[in-house]
Amino acid sequence: MNENAPDLLDNVARYYADKLAQHGATARGVDWNSTESQFLRFEKLSSIINTPNTPFSIIDLGCGYAATVDYLSRTFSDFDYCGVDISGEMIAIARARYQDYPKCRFVEGSIPDARADYCIASGIFNVRLDHSDSEWLDHLIQTLDVMDRFSRRGFAFNCLTSWSDADRMRETLYYPDPAKIFSLCVQHYGRHVALLHDYELYEFTILVRKAG
């Protein structure tokens, strides 16, 4: 999600708009196999929150229909949520779903409009369509720079793993090397980085904590 690749973002927005039209505001509508796997991803991403018993603010980059709010509401008692998505259709549904939640707001686009304690992104690096790996890596790095810039305490994201079974991998998806993405984050954002690769999905989660 960056402001320098409009064609790339337009392609991704159309892809997810089609999924939403087919499946509605469900896990499949944001290209996940099940609600269970969707919530497992939220659990791993929310590990970045190191003050769970005190109020915090969070940006959900690529929020979709904002299912993250459902998970956070079950797990944390007090938080301010900002969902950001390039799909106008997704944002419209998210706003309708959470119109009675005064601490939830939504931004259509690829860049948040204010900083928060944390920034998370689930699944936004998976679907590269016909874009090259190098082009997609540039997109990933630019997006991580946005997450770093707009988070005060840290950010977290997930990617499909290059260690996936070959017969399950699809050409239109992006499978980076977890070690290389980990190294990239240490080099660019500091040494307080964790790599989670020990859960039952063909992916990994990176947590980047900010010192202090």
Binned at pLDDT 50, 70 and 90, residue 161 comes out as very high
Beta bridge partners of 156: 120, 207
> Which CATH number covers residue 205?
3.40.50.150
Q: What is the pLDDT averaged over residues 190-195?
A: 97
Q: What integer pLDDT is reported at residue 53 of this predicted model?
A: 84
- Percent of the chain residues past pLDDT 90, beyond the cut: 71
Binned at pLDDT 50, 70 and 90, residue 81 comes out as very high
Residue of 123, 87, 77, 126 whose CA lies nearest to 107: 87
Q: What integer pLDDT is reported at residue 96 of this predicted model?
A: 95
Q: What integer pLDDT is reported at residue 47 of this predicted model?
A: 96
Q: What integer pLDDT is reported at residue 4 of this predicted model?
A: 44
pLDDT at 25 over 90: no
Q: What integer pLDDT is reported at residue 6 of this predicted model?
A: 60
Cα separation, 79 vs 153, whole angstroms: 14
Q: Which two tokens stand for residue 126?
A: 């998976």
Q: What is the pLDDT averaged over residues 159-165?
A: 92
E strand residue ranges, 44-142: 56-61, 79-85, 104-108, 116-121
Q: What is the pLDDT averaged over residues 129-144?
A: 94
Binned at pLDDT 50, 70 and 90, residue 1 comes out as very low
pLDDT, greater one: 143 or 30 = 143
Rg of the chain over Cα atoms, rounded to whole angstroms, equals: 16
Q: How many domains is the chain built from? A: 1
Cα separation, 190 vs 46, whole angstroms: 20
Supply the DSSP string of 10-52, one letter for each residue. Answer: HHHHHHHHHHHHHH-SSTGGGT-S-HHHHHHHHHHHGGG-S-T
Cα separation, 30 vs 64, whole angstroms: 7
Binned at pLDDT 50, 70 and 90, residue 168 comes out as confident
Binned at pLDDT 50, 70 and 90, residue 83 comes out as very high
Binned at pLDDT 50, 70 and 90, residue 191 comes out as very high
Q: What is the pLDDT averaged over residues 70-86?
A: 95
Q: What integer pLDDT is reported at residue 52 of this predicted model?
A: 75
User: pTM of the entire structure?
Assistant: 0.91
Task: Residue 165: give the domain boundaries.
Answer: 4-209
